[in-house]
Amino acid sequence: MTDTEQSKHLHDLVSICSKLPAVSVDQMVGVTRIVSHSPFKGHASIHKLAATLAFNDQQVVALVDFLRLLDLFEIEDGTVSLTDHGTVFARANMTERRKIFADGLVMRIPIMRRMVDRMASEPTRSVARTRLFADLVPHLSQDDSERLINHVLGWARYADLISVDASDGTVTLKARHPTAPK
């Protein structure tokens, strides 16, 4: 990796780390469903949404910004609106929602794309979790890289992109997902 590539890689990681909300997938799904229903009907001010969720403004902005990265929300003048994609996501059943989430993660979150590509390059489609640390976040502190990998793996598991062997920490890319390279 050249110095320029390393610099871009680090910039991408810092940017993604700063946007990772400290919320669960269930909360991300929940906020899209809340905004899709009355009284919001697809649009909510950041402040009213924060009050509804019992989040402070900083927490709700981080969550909404991440959902914007996934093309589920738009933000304009302090108002959050579901995109067409977000409306479909909010109304989808669990299987459809996981597929939409997986597509968004792999297509729009660079570290997720790198993780999927890394596992797809292996004959077994598997990589040790510790190897993912070294490959994906070599320039971050141990705490930051662990936090990032935990988020990414949690989201990938929800999206049904991967499985993780609890006994040895091996992360395996599920071949049946259309977002995952064959």
| Dist CA 7 CA 110 (whole Å) | 14
pLDDT (0 to 100) of residue 165? 94
Mean pLDDT of 82-98: 95
Q: Where do we find the tokens 């909010």?
A: 90
Going by CATH, does the domain composed of 19-91 fall within 3.40.120.10? Answer: no
Average pLDDT, the chain: 83
Give the pLDDT score at 10: 47
How many whole angstroms separate alpha carbon 93 and alpha carbon 3?
45
Q: What pTM, to 2 d.p., does this model score?
A: 0.79
Q: Amino acid identity of 27?
A: Q
In the structure, what pLDDT confidence band is assigned to residue 93 with cuts at 50, 70 and 90?
very high
* 127 DSSP 8-state letter: E
CB 106 within 8 A of CB 113: yes
Contact 102, 89 (CB under 8 A): no
Query: What was the pLDDT predicted at 37?
Result: 94
Query: Given this model, what pLDDT does residue 22 score?
Result: 61
Q: What is the pLDDT of residues 18-59, one digit of tens each?
A: 555 666 788 889 999 999 999 999 999 998 999 999 988 788
Report the phi/psi class of residue 25: left, alpha or beta, with left for phi > 0 and alpha for psi in -120 to 50: alpha
Quick one: pLDDT band at residue 131, thresholds 50, 70, 90?
confident
Helices (H), the chain: 3-19, 25-36, 46-53, 57-69, 84-91, 94-108, 110-120, 129-136, 142-158
Look at residue 14 and tell me whether its pLDDT is greater than 60. no
CA 72/CA 113 separation, integer angstroms: 18
The domain locations on the chain are 19-91, 101-173
